[in-house]
Chain A
Amino acid sequence: MELKLLSTSDIAVFVDGLLKAGKVVVAPVLKQSGKVFFKPVQSFAEVATDYIQTAFSAKEVVFPKVEELFTYQHNEDGSLDIKDQLDRIPETVVWGLRPCDAAGFDYLNQFFLKENPDVYFKARYDKTTLVTVSCSKCDESCFCTSVDSHPGDTKGSDILLTAMDGKCYVEVITDNGLALINSAKELFTSTDTLSKEAFLAKPATHFSMDEIKDKIQYAYASAEWKHASMGCYSCGACAFACPTCTCFDIQDEGTQDHGKRVRCWDACGMSQFTKHASGHNPRNTQTERRRQRLMHKFKYSVENLGVVSCVGCGRCIRVCPSHLNIFENILSVMN
């Protein structure tokens, strides 16, 4: 890991330089609605800087909301031409992630690649460099410190910037990050002392991972689930905003002669998610569906991958039309 300094006024120079070099830069942009989204930008001037969290995560860069798996075209002899577009993915830099988002990419990496590697995810992830900015502010929906992270965490990032007065610490964590820095070496100076604590936000801690480890096994049978899910509208807002939700649907679009097969985001909270063709639905009530979501995040991913799949970003709480609170719910079903 290398430590450098970058003056705040040079950030724009750095990012504009990346754009000039032909990279796609995806960064937070303020839209007319007042919400901030990760979008491709053409200059640093478009990048939003004064906000706590984006509405949706940046997972679209590696797991798009609609992804073409292949196109198919019937030939005269009845056979088909099947083609994918895996070789057309551009070099992308995601700028302005929060440490919770970067931890989310780390989870996605494990989920998609550890077993049965997903070639679509890999093709995009291999071409993506993640530049994270530490959080100096937080709100009451943030709870990264409850899930083994914090506003200055480097997990999952290639580069982590922490803003001070007039300059930033630049922690260069991976070779990918180093390659990016080296493309504009002259902007960076070296340093060997890192003292970022004073510039980091202090979100409230609601529980610890030890508490989860101890008590989550009792949560499934809790009588509190009904209460925890009464307000749930059964939409997909939380799952789609979440940096670690990965469920998807596969659909054919076109005719039997030619068309494409795509995968698109899906959500376990939606009522038809588990419904069989026979009409039987194993998770027939919203209580069962909300229980599935939370148990998956805090128990099943631990059992399958060794990590909790919630990063404490709080987006689910903010986008939910009834602001259902994931950490309050988890506490109530564990106790």
Chain B
Amino acid sequence: MDTNQYIPYQVRIADIIDEAPLVRTYRLEFTDPTANFTFKAGQFAEYGVFGEGESTFCIASSPTREGYLECTFRSSGRVTKALANCEINDIIGLRGPFGKAFPIEEWYGKDIVFITGGIGLPPLRCVIWNVLDQREKFGKVSIYYGARTVADLVYKEELDNWKKRDDVDLFLTVDPGGETKDWKDNVGFVPTIIEQNLPSSTNAIAIVAGPPILIKMSMPILAKCGFANDKIFTTLENRMKCGVGKCGHCTVGKTYVCKDGPVFTYEEVLQMPQEY
């Protein structure tokens, strides 16, 4: 009997964290204890408020942490606004997991470079948690992250924890003009900070996610450092509805971002029609 991929799981909001203006993280627990929901870092889900619709976000937690999953979203449209109005113990719908995951097993022993900005950190946090929870399996871990202002940085408490670790190089920055009086870290756009702290491409993988402009500016720097296009990974966003490669909204050429992605190497992205 085939699974009905349109019927959602029911998940309870166990915790709400206000990350930044209009940005929230929800910790979700399945109401059905027999729900055998397993996922891999990089996969996404459709989160739904019944009566309003569904919205697509990555699963921002890692499968290494059991019993719950987390999503982080910005309130921008009808569904995300309705989601933002939910309270602890409310039940929402969840469909998934969908899409292809990051091939983390292929990265054992390698250095991992994360480059992201603003609301691009949630899709990468699942990988960061996954890597840090198995720290001994990987080489150097570098994270380049920035936002427009200090208030816009997400996962502020975790950023503090990562900074304190001596096995993670965190390069944190805010855009010029976005710093507060007591800001002690970098000031400058993320690509500028990467230029000042070039990562080595030897035995390394780079993962870039976030605003298109960030991706556009980071790629030449990575190329300069010697990263081949198939060693750079990204996660694409496109308008999605079904999540299973049927409704047609997310197609880029022959590729369905939902089922053939959302994780792609930069080489695969370059081969697509540039319509995303």
Identify which of residues 240-271 in chain A touch chain B, using a CB-to-CB cut-off of 8 Å: 246-252, 254-257, 259, 261, 263, 266, 268
A69/B6 in contact, CB under 8 A: yes
Q: Which of B52, B82, B248, B254 has the most CB of A within 10 A?
A: B248
Against B, the Cβ 8 Å flags (1 = close, 0 = not) of A263-307 are 100101000011111100011000010001001100110011000
Binding site secondary structure of chain B: loop
Against A, the Cβ 8 Å flags (1 = close, 0 = not) of B1-16 are 0111111101010000
Identify which of residues 48-84 in chain B touch chain A, using a CB-to-CB cut-off of 8 Å: 48-54, 76-77, 80, 82
Cα distance A261–B3 when bound, in Å? 17
Identify which of residues 1-42 in chain B touch chain A, using a CB-to-CB cut-off of 8 Å: 2-8, 10, 12, 31
Which of B31, B249, B259 is the one whose CB lies under 8 Å from A274? B249
B51/A80 in contact, CB under 8 A: no
A261/B237 in contact, CB under 8 A: no
B5/A300 in contact, CB under 8 A: no
Cα distance A115–B237 when bound, in Å? 22
B162 → chain A closest CB, angstroms: 28
**Residue B238 at the chain A interface, CB threshold 8 Å:** yes
Closest to A111 in B: B246
Binding site secondary structure of chain A: mixed
Cα distance A255–B51 when bound, in Å? 5
A78/B245 in contact, CB under 8 A: no
Cα distance A255–B247 when bound, in Å? 24
A288/B275 in contact, CB under 8 A: yes
Cα distance A120–B239 when bound, in Å? 23
**Residue B244 at the chain A interface, CB threshold 8 Å:** yes
A261/B6 in contact, CB under 8 A: yes
B246/A248 in contact, CB under 8 A: yes
Which of A220, A259, A275 is the one whose CB lies under 8 Å from B51? A259
B2/A256 in contact, CB under 8 A: no
Q: List, in ascending order, chain A residues with CB within 8 A of B93's CB.
A: 80
Q: Which of B3, B77, B89, B247 has the most CB of A within 10 A?
A: B247
**Residue B276 at the chain A interface, CB threshold 8 Å:** yes
B53 → chain A closest CB, angstroms: 5
B53/A252 in contact, CB under 8 A: yes
A247/B248 in contact, CB under 8 A: yes
**Residue A195 at the chain B interface, CB threshold 8 Å:** no
Q: List, in ascending order, chain B residues with CB within 8 A of A70's CB.
A: 6-7
Interface size bracket, A side: 35 or more
B275/A300 in contact, CB under 8 A: no
Closest to B56 in A: A277
**Residue A335 at the chain B interface, CB threshold 8 Å:** no
A282/B2 in contact, CB under 8 A: no
A248/B247 in contact, CB under 8 A: yes
Which of A119, A220, A261, A268 is the one whose CB lies under 8 Å from B2? A119
**Residue B195 at the chain A interface, CB threshold 8 Å:** no
Closest to B50 in A: A72
B49/A250 in contact, CB under 8 A: no
A300/B53 in contact, CB under 8 A: no
A80/B239 in contact, CB under 8 A: no
Q: List, in ascending order, chain B residues with CB within 8 A of A78's CB.
A: 12, 89-91
Closest to A278 in B: B76
A–B pairs, 16, beta carbons within 8 Å: A74-B50, A78-B91, A82-B7, A84-B4, A86-B4, A118-B5, A122-B2, A220-B273, A246-B248, A248-B242, A249-B241, A250-B54, A261-B6, A266-B248, A266-B249, A295-B253
20 new A-B contacts at CB < 8 Å, known A82-B7, A278-B76: A74-B50, A79-B31, A84-B7, A118-B5, A120-B6, A122-B2, A247-B247, A250-B53, A250-B247, A252-B52, A259-B51, A261-B50, A273-B239, A274-B238, A275-B239, A282-B275, A296-B251, A299-B254, A300-B251, A300-B253
The 8 lowest CB-CB distance pairs between A and B, nearest first, are A247-B248, A300-B254, A256-B51, A277-B77, A303-B254, A117-B2, A282-B275, A116-B244
